[in-house]
Structure 1
Amino acid sequence: MGKLKLFEKFIFLINSLIAFALLLSYILPYVEPKKFAFLSVLSLAVPFLIIFNILFLIYWLLKVKKQLLLSLLVLAIGYNYVLSLYKFTSSKNVDDSENISVMNYNVRLFNLFDWIDDPNLKENMSSFILENSPDILCMQEFRPDEEIDLEIYPYKHIELSGKKIRNGQAIYTKFPIINSGSIEFPNTSNNAIFADIVKGIDTIRVYNLHLESSRIDPNAEEFSKENSQNLFKRVSWTFKKQQSQAEQFLVHKNKCLYKTIISGDFNNTAYSYIYNEIKGDMQDAFEHAGNGFGRTFDFKFFPVRIDIILVDDTFEINAFKTFDVKYSDHYPVMAKVKVK
Structure 2
Amino acid sequence: MKNLNFLEKVVFFINSIAAFLLLLSYVLPNIPPKTFAILSVLSLGVPFLILLNVLFFVYWLLKIKKQLLLSLVVIAVGYFLFGSLYKFSNWEENDADSLSIMNYNVRLFNLYDWIEDDAIDKKLVDFVKNENPDVLCIQEYHEQESIDFSFYKYKYKKLDDKTKKIGQAIFSQYPIVNSGSVQFPKTANNAIFADIVKGKDTVRVYNLHLQSLRIDPRVQSLTTQNSEELIHGIGEAFKLQQNQTELFLKHKNQSPHKSIISGDFNNSAFSYVYKAIRGDMKDAFKQQGNGFGRTYNFKFFPLRIDFILVDKSWNVNSFKTYDVQYSDHFPILTKISF
TM-score range normalised by the length of the shorter chain: over 0.9
Is the 8 Å Cα contact of residues 297 and 331 (structure 1) preserved in structure 2?
yes
Count residues in correspondence: 338
Look up the equivalent residue of 2:205 and give its one-letter code: V
Q: Distance in 2 between matches of 1:109 and 1:123?
A: 13
Q: Which residue of 1 aligns with 2:19?
A: 19
Relative to structure 1, the CA distance from residue 25 to residue 98 in structure 2 (aligned partners, 3 Å threshold; closer, same or farther) is same
Q: Distance in 1 between matches of 2:113 and 2:332?
A: 23
* Runs of 4+ with >4 A deviation: none
Q: Verify: 1:154 aligned to 2:158, yes or no.
A: no
Q: Verify: 1:71 aligned to 2:68, yes or no.
A: no
Look up the equivalent residue of 1:91 and give its one-letter code: W
Alpha-carbon offset, residue 224 of structure 1: 5.8
Deviations along 1:120-179, whole A, 9 cap, x unmatched? Answer: 212211110011000000000001222223122111010000534720110000011111
Q: Which residue of 2 aligns with 1:57?
A: 57
Look up the equivalent residue of 1:67 and give its one-letter code: Q
Alpha-carbon offset, residue 254 of structure 1: 0.7
Q: Which residue of 1 aligns with 2:222?
A: 223
Q: Distance in 1 between matches of 2:20 and 2:167?
A: 40
Alpha-carbon offset, residue 314 of structure 1: 2.6
Deviations along 1:91-134, whole A, 9 cap, x unmatched? Answer: 12323x21100000001111111110112212211110011000
- Where do 5+ consecutive residues of structure 1 fail to align? none
Q: Distance in 2 between matches of 1:49 and 1:165?
A: 42
Matches within 5 A, 1:81-160: 83-95=83-95, 97-160=96-159
Look up the equivalent residue of 2:118 and give its one-letter code: P
Q: Distance in 2 between matches of 1:281 and 1:126?
A: 34
Q: Which residue of 2 aligns with 1:43?
A: 43
Q: Distance in 1 between matches of 2:134 and 2:104?
A: 14
Relative to structure 1, the CA distance from residue 308 to residue 13 in structure 2 (aligned partners, 3 Å threshold; closer, same or farther) is same
Relative to structure 1, the CA distance from residue 192 to residue 82 in structure 2 (aligned partners, 3 Å threshold; closer, same or farther) is closer
Alpha-carbon offset, residue 82 of structure 1: 6.7
Q: Which residue of 1 aligns with 2:8?
A: 8
Matches within 5 A, 1:189-228: 189-223=188-222, 227-228=226-227
Q: Which residue of 2 aligns with 1:271?
A: 270
DSSP-derived class of the 1:98 partner: coil
Relative to structure 1, the CA distance from residue 320 to residue 327 in structure 2 (aligned partners, 3 Å threshold; closer, same or farther) is same
Relative to structure 1, the CA distance from residue 225 to residue 218 in structure 2 (aligned partners, 3 Å threshold; closer, same or farther) is closer
Look up the equivalent residue of 2:309 and give its one-letter code: L
DSSP-derived class of the 1:214 partner: coil
Matches within 5 A, 1:172-321: 172-223=171-222, 227-321=226-320
- Where do 5+ consecutive residues of structure 2 fail to align? none
Alpha-carbon offset, residue 229 of structure 1: 2.5
Q: Report which stretch shifted further, 319-328 or 162-171.
A: 162-171
DSSP-derived class of the 1:75 partner: helix
Is the 8 Å Cα contact of residues 184 and 191 (structure 1) preserved in structure 2?
yes
TM-score normalised by the chain length of structure 2: 0.97
Look up the equivalent residue of 2:192 and give its one-letter code: I
Is the 8 Å Cα contact of residues 75 and 82 (structure 1) preserved in structure 2?
no
DSSP-derived class of the 2:207 partner: strand
Q: Distance in 2 between matches of 1:327 and 1:226?
A: 26
DSSP-derived class of the 2:329 partner: coil
Identity over aligned pairs, percent: 57
TM-score normalised by the chain length of structure 1: 0.96
Q: Distance in 1 between matches of 2:68 and 2:223?
A: 37
Q: Distance in 2 between matches of 1:224 and 1:119?
A: 29
DSSP-derived class of the 2:312 partner: coil
Q: Which residue of 2 aligns with 1:30?
A: 30
The RMSD of aligned alpha carbons is: 1.5
